[in-house]
């Protein structure tokens, strides 16, 4: 890199947009000002970033991040979580509502939104709760959150399914007024009472109560029909089974306005890891069978699953370490999501880099109605850009992660790719692989 990092103009010399041929990308005053032949962009007064061999993508957008603030700042804060996001290549994240207090009022979502602006590592779009206190009994202040400074457009009781069909219908009807979307955590509660892992032969061997696939699939089937009935947008969080994919495929063929996400860990890991009894592999929904993993990968490639979303779920050591049955579900994801996408999808030939940009930036931004993100890498667009070295390899050291928590399932695992730089509206948040 040459020039001053305080410059307002950056020339990304020889970058490869979407893995294509090399060009110079000029970021000036928050805008991608030029895309010219490699080596031709003028550099007077600019900071030049040597991007030879690096893939350029639109800044990533996460639909599903737990920042834990307010309430569990010992596990994560908006500051530490958005640092992790920037290092993972994200320029925007949706912060889930299950904080303490719950983000079910305009006051709480505005608090999270303002903390994100103060931190400055990426944009933070708060997700509002669907029901008061995530209690599943009466609707939260959906309209007030939508009209707040945070302009909430995604609502979810994530971690708790909106299992009451009447309440779900009302929520879907309500958010139509401001083009919102209900993001459902599909888990029929009676079928999963006390569940610890995927239901199947292995759960029987291990003596852990099973979480059956039908508990997810039944809720998705019900909700796509409700969404079709009221003509509203529905989004399914962290799809995990082959059967869910089949339901989504049928719904989309019928023209129902449903979108879906999958986590990186459900694209790479499977239920066999539960046999270690290491609670770092405990997650909700649980890791599924190998057949499900293959179906999920294919669904991302086909576009039936619209987005890869991290479900970044930091936990303090006392909540995660110990016996499997007592550990909270969830794992870190922001700093490794792109690497998992490369390993599971790009290196298997299922998706190219343009596809990765679509599933990790364009479609998530569209679902969350973030108009300044997920835009194409062309002149005149917001300068939200990530540079990736696809040839790099790194071994994950939990102690080296920016998150306040350490519950990564990839400790000691070597993953492909490395985020070299992230730009938020033309300002570097990451340079040379470190926070700028």
- Write phi, then psi, for 370 (nearest 5 degrees): -95, 95
How far is the C-alpha of 90 from the C-alpha of 62, rounded, in Å?
Answer: 7
Cβ atoms < 10 Å from Cβ of 290: 10
How far is the C-alpha of 307 from the C-alpha of 331, rounded, in Å?
Answer: 18
Give the contacts of 198 (CB within 8 A, at least 6 positions apart). 210, 211, 213, 271, 274, 286, 287, 288, 289
User: CA 213, 268, 158 angle in degrees (round to 5)?
Assistant: 50
Q: Spell 191-222 as b/e; 16+ CB within 10 A means b.
A: bbeebbbbbeebbeebebebbbbebbbbbbbb
How far is the C-alpha of 399 from the C-alpha of 418, rounded, in Å?
Answer: 17
How far is the C-alpha of 250 from the C-alpha of 229, rounded, in Å?
Answer: 16
Give me the long-range contacts of 224-227 (CB less than 8 A, separation at least 24). 224/248, 224/251, 224/256, 224/258, 226/165, 226/168, 226/169, 226/172, 227/172, 227/256, 227/257, 227/258
Sign (positive or negative) of CA dihedral 353, 355, 357, 360 = negative
| Residues in a beta bridge with 65 | 95, 312
Token pair of 250 as six digits: 């049928």
Half-sphere exposure of 293 (CA within 13 A, CB side): 19
Active site residues: 311
């Amino acid at each position: 890199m040459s020039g001053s990092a305080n410059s307002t103009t950056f020339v990304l010399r020889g970058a490869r947009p979407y893995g294509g041929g090399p060009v110079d990308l000029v970021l000036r005053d928050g805008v991608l000002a030029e895309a010219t032949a490699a080596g031709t962009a003028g550099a007077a007064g600019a900071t030049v970033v040597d991007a030879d061999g690096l893939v350029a993508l639109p800044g990533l957008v996460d639909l599903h991040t737990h920042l834990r603030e307010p309430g569990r700042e010992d596990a994560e804060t908006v500051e530490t979580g958005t640092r992790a996001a920037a290092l993972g290549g994200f320029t925007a994240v949706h912060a889930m509502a299950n904080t303490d207090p719950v983000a079910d009022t305009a006051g709480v979502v505005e608090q999270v939104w303002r903390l994100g602006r103060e931190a400055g590592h990426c944009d933070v779009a708060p997700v509002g709760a669907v029901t008061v206190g995530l209690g599943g009994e009466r609707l939260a202040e959906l309209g007030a959150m939508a009209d707040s400074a945070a302009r909430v457009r995604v609502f979810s009781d994530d971690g708790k399914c909106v299992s009451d069909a009447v309440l779900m219908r009302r929520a879907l009807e309500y958010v139509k007024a401001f083009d919102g979307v209900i993001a459902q955590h599909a888990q029929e509660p009676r079928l999963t009472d006390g569940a610890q892992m995927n239901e199947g032969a292995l759960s029987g061997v291990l003596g852990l109560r099973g979480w059956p696939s039908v508990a997810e699939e039944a809720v998705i089937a019900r909700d796509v029909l409700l969404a079709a009935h009221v003509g509203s947008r529905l989004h399914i969080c962290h799809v995990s089974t082959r059967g869910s994919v089949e339901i989504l495929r049928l719904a989309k063929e019928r023209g129902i306005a449903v979108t879906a996400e999958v986590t990186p860990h459900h694209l790479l890991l499977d239920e066999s890891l539960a046999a270690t009894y290491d609670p770092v592999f405990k997650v909700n929904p649980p890791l599924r069978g190998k057949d499900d993993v293959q179906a999920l990968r294919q669904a991302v490639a086909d576009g039936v699953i619209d987005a890869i979303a991290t479900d970044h779920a930091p936990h303090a050591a006392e909540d995660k370490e110990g016996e499997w049955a007592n550990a909270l579900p969830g794992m870190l994801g922001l700093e490794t999501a792109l690497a998992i996408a490369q390993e599971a999808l790009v290196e298997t030939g299922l998706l190219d880099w343009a596809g990765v940009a679509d599933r990790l930036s364009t479609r998530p931004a569209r679902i969350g109605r973030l108009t300044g993100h997920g835009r194409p890498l062309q002149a005149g667009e917001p300068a939200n850009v990530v540079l990736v070295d696809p040839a790099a390899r790194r071994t994950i050291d939990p102690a080296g992660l920016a998150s306040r928590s350490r519950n990564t399932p990839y400790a000691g695992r070597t993953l492909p790719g490395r985020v070299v730089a992230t730009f938020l509206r033309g300002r570097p948040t990451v340079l040379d692989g470190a926070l700028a």
